[in-house]
Copies of this chain bind each other. A is one copy, B any other.
Amino acid sequence: MTDSQTDPRELTALALNCTLKPSPAESSSDLLGSQLLEALAGHGVSGRMVRVVDHDVRFGVSTDEGDGDEWPVLREQVLDADVLVLVTPIWMGQPSSVAKMVLERLDAEISETDDEGRPTMFGKVAVVGVVGNEDGAHHVSAELFQALDDVGFSIPAQGVSYWVGEAMQGVDYKDKEPTPEKTAETTATAARNAAHLARLLAGAPYPAE
């Protein structure tokens, strides 16, 4: 890729941690999200993480549910970012309710468009992080990929990193020391590909209709 093809802008990422537990509780999603952000930073995409349940986000499918709803603050951060890192724990083999709440709020973006009629999320890249004691990462990534793609995000090749333990065991990712090598590798790949794709799309947005 020559310089002329790249966007000279520094790119940015926002990680939304969809754990059920407010800060300062420890969170495996927090650890995986930090690792994804660190890997992205190594490719020139600087970012930060927000724990969604630390904010008063309301159930709904609009951009602003009013009455103290704090989604609009997070939404601004999503709009400002080139890469969305959506990190969720697995509960019962499925994405967390908080992740679902975030997706429902993002659903409003389908009908929000820029000056040329493109949905607001067109041009952004999504990458996913999934952690659980056991089982569920592939399905969780399926649910998240589909919903994020519907809304307008692009999904890079191998755009997920995850860890789960053996069936019905009870260890948390945050207590695995050191980080399992396979997960470290998938984190590196997902971040590398997300950064590459985000840079391409920043330089050459999807055409309007």
Determine how many copies of this chain the complex contains.
Answer: 4
* Docked CA distance A111–B105 (Å): 33
* Docked CA distance A103–B136 (Å): 15
Residue A201 is within 8 A (CB to CB) of chain B in the complex: yes
Question: Would A145 and B152 count as touching, CB distance under 8 A?
Answer: no
Count A-side interface residues using an 8 Å CB cutoff: 75
* Docked CA distance A101–B142 (Å): 18
* Docked CA distance A107–B135 (Å): 15
In the bound complex, residues from chain B placing their C-beta under 8 Å from that of A122 are 157
* Docked CA distance A197–B203 (Å): 12
In the bound complex, residues from chain B placing their C-beta under 8 Å from that of A141 are 146, 149
In the bound complex, residues from chain B placing their C-beta under 8 Å from that of A153 are 157
In the bound complex, residues from chain B placing their C-beta under 8 Å from that of A40 are none
Q: 28 interchain pairs (CB within 8 A)?
A: A1-B203, A20-B61, A59-B96, A59-B97, A91-B104, A91-B107, A92-B146, A93-B139, A94-B143, A94-B147, A100-B100, A119-B158, A122-B157, A135-B135, A135-B136, A138-B146, A142-B142, A142-B146, A145-B145, A145-B146, A149-B155, A149-B158, A152-B157, A152-B158, A168-B186, A196-B207, A197-B206, A200-B204
